[in-house]
Amino acid sequence: MLAARADRNTLVTALRERRLDQTLTTALPTLDPRDEQAVGPTGLAALDSRLGGGLPRGHLSEVIGPRSSGRTSLLLQAMAAATARGELVALVDALDMLDAASAAAAGVDLTRLLWVRGHVVINPGLCRDLNQRAMEQAVKALGLVLQAGNFGLVILDLGEAPHEALRRLPFTTWLRLQRMVEGRQTVCVLVGNEPMSRSAAGLSIKLQPSATADVNAAARFHGPLFDGLNLEARVARARVQLTDTTALPLATKVARHV
């Protein structure tokens, strides 16, 4: 009995020395907002404060919301912040919707961006099988990028993708991607209309127009010109099954370029 206890203590000590003694039920230490090895700041001070410094590295996280909810604005801000830190960014753009000029105007360093362009028919009609293959190719591209490593921020943008094509992706898809990103210094973000998958320590940021479901009521104008949107963000953390009870106000700003 004493020999068995000694062997167990030796194993526990070895695991602790290699930092392998934590499990999914072990409480993680509090994140230091200045520790970019643990989180990737989005560049939005109010949101980063609510997130504990930024988006968690080594986990799948989500940015979800309907059309005109600020998804693209948040996406570009996070990309700009990552490239400003000197990190490489990869965007798997399933519907090929990124406007490079808008990205540059938002501060994204395009020389540090890998843009993987896809093609999905938003109104599929008879293109169901074509859309399914396109979605599978986008997920496969994401996996290849994660395996390659060296990226500080990797994004799979599925916003506006057909609901049926998303639902046909097996749940094991997200588990496999989570295993790929675990232990890496990569922030991996899924972007879409609805929740897809959250890891044990990842999170979801749900965006919506401020104060009302009417998008037009949240629009902000400067004279005759559209100036941006007033939004709300709610954060859900999978580990503790907790959603913020208060909405975080955000505002987008139109990046005007010629």
Look at residue 77 and tell me if it is in a domain.
Answer: yes
DSSP-assigned beta bridge partners for residue 229? 219
The structural domain count of the chain equals 1
Look at residue 15 and tell me if it is in a domain.
Answer: no
Look at residue 87 and tell me if it is in a domain.
Answer: yes
Q: How confident is the model at residue 18 (pLDDT cuts 50, 70, 90)?
A: low
Alpha-carbon distance of 231 to 40, in angstroms, equals: 22
DSSP 247: P
Mean pLDDT score, 189-196: 88
For residue 21, pLDDT beyond 60: no
Task: Name the residue range of residue 48's domain.
Answer: 37-251
Look at residue 188 and tell me if it is in a domain.
Answer: yes
Q: What is the pLDDT of residues 33-81, one digit of tens each?
A: 445 568 999 998 888 988 889 999 998 999 988 887 888 889 999 999 9
* Distance in angstroms between the alpha carbons of the first and the last residue of the chain: 78
Q: What is the CATH number of the domain that holds 182?
A: 3.40.50.300
